[in-house]
Amino acid sequence: MPAVIKRVFLEAVRLERHLVPGFEAYPFCIPAVRHLRRLAFHPAVTFFIGENGSGKSTLLEAVAVKLGFNAEGGSRNLNFATRPTHSVLHRFLRLERGIARPSDGYFLRAESLYNVATELEKLDEVPGGPRPLDAYGGESLHAKSHGEAFLALLLHRLRGNGIYLFDEPEAALSPQRQLAVLSLIHRLVRQRSQLIIATHSPILLAYPHARIYLFAEGGLSEVKYAETEHYYVTRDFLNRHERMLEMLLAPEDETPTPEDPDE
């Protein structure tokens, strides 16, 4: 059970719709953005879910940039740009902040962790300068696998009492490592942190009492864990994997008739 959090760093985000020049161009044409008005965050953990292209990473990135993080990831002190690909959405957002201020923060993007690791190495090699790698366990993240680098970040860099944004962290993790991340998320929550996570992982989504937002064609809606496609597709596959494999892998002219689930 998550610890009760009485203070919130980020209460909600609003789209300043009156400033949007039009909803036909990207990123405003994305249904989740087009319908966005006010999105309230859970004081502990909020999840963004949806199909690829549904806008969850776009909104997460915009919130991160609005909070002062680098668009490619890292802390607020990490300022670099390998390739400027982030959208202009952050310019049209208004954040509703709580009274408390976080003492730590980090934006993790699985797809650009390599770029962050490269920038940290450059900074670490500056004579007489700070040694940022010390905060990651003292070893280059390039010396680790993608999953090991992510876990090193969680274990060593994230200090608690912070706001953390993760974009599909499970991309580099085995199921066993995802279970370990669940425990680490709970540690951060107990250290009075707030997390916003875009994910496809049914394991991470199981974190209790989290708020889950579904990004879909109709816009944004809050759903329960057992109502998510991630949950019931995974459950049905594991419970009937042999039969489902027969259906999925059969030749088109020999597709078996689905079994009655009540039989």
pLDDT value of position 253? 64
Do 232 and 104 share a domain, yes or no?
no
- State how far the Cα of 166 lies from the Cα of 113, in Å rounded to an integer: 11
- State how far the Cα of 154 lies from the Cα of 146, in Å rounded to an integer: 13
Do 219 and 250 share a domain, yes or no?
no
pLDDT along the chain (263 residues), means of 10: 65 97 95 97 97 93 93 68 69 96 88 48 46 47 55 80 92 87 93 96 96 96 96 92 88 61 48
5, part of any domain: no
What is the tally of structural domains in the chain? 2
Which helix (DSSP H) or strand (DSSP E) does residue 93 occupy? Answer: strand 93-97
Beta-carbon count within 10 A of 143 CB: 11
The Cα angle at residue 182 between residues 195 and 100, in degrees rounded to 5: 25
Do 200 and 74 share a domain, yes or no?
yes
Do 243 and 171 share a domain, yes or no?
no
- State how far the Cα of 5 lies from the Cα of 73, in Å rounded to an integer: 26
Cβ–Cβ under 8 Å, residues 74 and 106: yes
And the tokens for 208?
Answer: 């209790």
User: DSSP string spanning 27-82?
Assistant: TTTSHHHHT-SEEEPPSSEEEEEESTTSSHHHHHHHHHHHTT--TTSB-TT----S
Nearest to 136 by CA among 125, 123, 149: 149
* CB burial string 16-36: b at 16+ within 10 A, e below: eeeebeeeeeebbebbbbbbb
Cβ–Cβ under 8 Å, residues 170 and 205: no
Q: What is the model's pTM?
A: 0.81
- State how far the Cα of 94 lies from the Cα of 88, in Å rounded to an integer: 13
57, part of any domain: yes
Domain of 92 in residue numbering reads as: 10-225
- State how far the Cα of 234 lies from the Cα of 241, in Å rounded to an integer: 10
Pairing, β 162-167 against β 104-109: parallel
Cβ–Cβ under 8 Å, residues 47 and 17: no
Do 85 and 186 share a domain, yes or no?
yes
Do 166 and 237 share a domain, yes or no?
no
99, part of any domain: yes
pLDDT value of position 156? 77
58 strand-pairing partners: none
Which helix (DSSP H) or strand (DSSP E) does residue 185 occupy? Answer: helix 175-190
Do 60 and 181 share a domain, yes or no?
yes
- State how far the Cα of 156 lies from the Cα of 142, in Å rounded to an integer: 16
- State how far the Cα of 209 lies from the Cα of 213, in Å rounded to an integer: 13
